[in-house]
Amino acid sequence: MNVRKTDDFIADIEQQYDWYVANADWDVADYYLDSVQATCQLLGMQPGLGPLAGFAHARLRDGRFFLVFRPFRKHVLFYEIRSGEVVKRRAMHGHRDLPGRLLETSKWD
């Protein structure tokens, strides 16, 4: 199945990459990108693996999530299955206000 990454998703990944460069090192940052890419490839092959997020808000009701591969399992990828493609919406740390952060973007619909 085709995987499409939204601008918000890409910005989230870039922000986290920059954080790892500044607070860890280039190797950790590159490993993070590799883990995200591997997770995205898996979801492209098996999009139903991620459970429904279960948020009450109507705009988020059909959203799914999946944890980034180890050792970055605190990072969550949010996506939808739409018109035969996996649409990656956001990527964020799991300790955030997830519904609030997901609704920040107007493109989740």
What is the C-alpha separation between 26 and 9, in angstroms, rounded?
Answer: 21
pTM of the model: 0.84
Query: If you average pLDDT over residues 58-86, what whole number do you get?
Result: 88
100-104 long-range contacts, CB within 8 A, separation 24+: 102/55, 102/60, 102/63, 102/78, 103/57, 103/59, 103/60
In which band, very low, low, confident or very high, does the pLDDT at 36 lie, cut at 50, 70 and 90? very high
Query: If you average pLDDT over residues 48-61, what whole number do you get?
Result: 79
Output 42 or 98, whichever has higher pLDDT: 42
- Percent of the chain exceeding pLDDT 90 equals 61
Output 95 or 53, whichever has higher pLDDT: 53
Q: Which of 16, 8, 7 is nearest to 103 (CA)?
A: 8
Q: Which domains does the chain have, with CATH numbers?
A: 2-103 (3.30.2310.20)
Q: Does the structure show a pLDDT above 60 at 97?
A: no
Helix and strand totals (H; E) in the chain: 3, 4
Q: Which of 71, 59, 69, 70 is nearest to 102 (CA)?
A: 59
